[in-house]
């Protein structure tokens, strides 16, 4: 396994990051355990999740993915110090007004809840799942700085930010003498290359690590033309996309 520094930090992560969004909705808990065990065996030390994972449009499932990871960590306590654990905050975790986005109120509660579900005392990389245009950076960073001081999080990251969001976040962090965001997680694959225009140059300029999500285009780029009997590839929207893009996918698969 190859390892690299995450952004401008001294933190080393595997080039391959294990995404866990399917754990729960499409991947059973026993299968999720097998996948995580195999990832660890292969030297993958970077595990990414989010507090909203597990729902897949079913609100009752919110938090289930973190719970699965938490039970896996609890099964063998030595696993926790072998991985860099990343999760996210922003998405709606309930029906009351302050159970989403990036107010200091929600960041504090969401972090505490994630720690309980993950059965750990700290999160290595705490990522803002989206930009919050209603909450000032002073409030967001004050909340993040407090979590760092308390040892509940180590680094702060972003996800789905525009290039100017990354620039603003870095500028304001510098003013506060705070490390600020060290990574940006963006959608990026052969099917979606928009971040090459501005986000990637911004990441390079500001020393922000790039974590691509959906690098296989949601399943389009991993043999989707071969019919599957179960799993996420059987979803109707994916199959419709596959049919629409069949000539391009066939050319891609032939090249592979």
Catalytically active residues are 53
Cβ neighbours for 16, distance < 8 A, ≥ 6 positions apart: 1, 44, 46
Q: With CA atoms as reference, report the closest residue to 15 among 45, 41, 49.
A: 45
Phi, psi of 3 (to 5 degrees): -120, 150
Residue linked to tokens 């603003």 = 168
CA distance 17 to 12: 12
CA distance 181 to 7: 9
Q: What SS3 class is residue 156?
A: strand
Virtual torsion, Cα 36, 118, 165, 220, nearest 10 deg: 30
Q: What SS3 class is residue 14?
A: strand
CA atoms within 13 A on the CB side of 10: 0
CA distance 21 to 196: 24
CB of 243 closer than 8 Å to CB of 219? no
């Amino acid at each position: 396994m190859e390892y690299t520094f995450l952004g401008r930090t001294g933190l080393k992560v595997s080039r391959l990051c294990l995404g866990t969004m399917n754990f729960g909705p499409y991947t059973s808990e026993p299968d999720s355990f097998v996948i995580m065990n195999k990832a660890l065996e292969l030297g993958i030390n970077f595990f990414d999740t989010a507090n909203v994972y597990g729902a897949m449009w079913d609100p009752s499932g919110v938090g289930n993915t973190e719970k699965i990871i938490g039970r896996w960590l609890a099964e063998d306590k030595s696993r926790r110090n072998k991985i860099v654990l990343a999760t996210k905050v922003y998405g709606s975790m309930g029906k009351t007004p302050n159970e989403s986005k990036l107010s200091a109120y929600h960041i504090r509660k969401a972090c505490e809840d994630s720690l309980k579900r993950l059965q750990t005392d700290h999160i290595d990389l705490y990522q803002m799942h989206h930009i919050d245009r209603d909450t000032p950076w002073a409030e967001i960073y004050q909340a993040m700085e407090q979590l760092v001081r308390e040892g509940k999080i180590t680094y702060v990251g972003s996800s789905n930010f525009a290039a100017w969001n990354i620039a603003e976040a870095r500028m304001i962090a510098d003013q506060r003498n705070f490390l600020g965001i060290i990574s940006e997680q963006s959608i990026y694959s052969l099917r979606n290359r928009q971040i090459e225009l501005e986000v990637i140059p911004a990441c390079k300029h500001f020393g922000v690590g790039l974590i691509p999500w959906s690098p296989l285009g949601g399943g389009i780029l991993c043999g989707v033309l071969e019919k599957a009997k179960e799993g996420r590839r059987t979803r109707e929207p994916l199959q419709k996309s596959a049919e629409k893009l069949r000539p391009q996918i066939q050319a891609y698969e032939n090249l592979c």
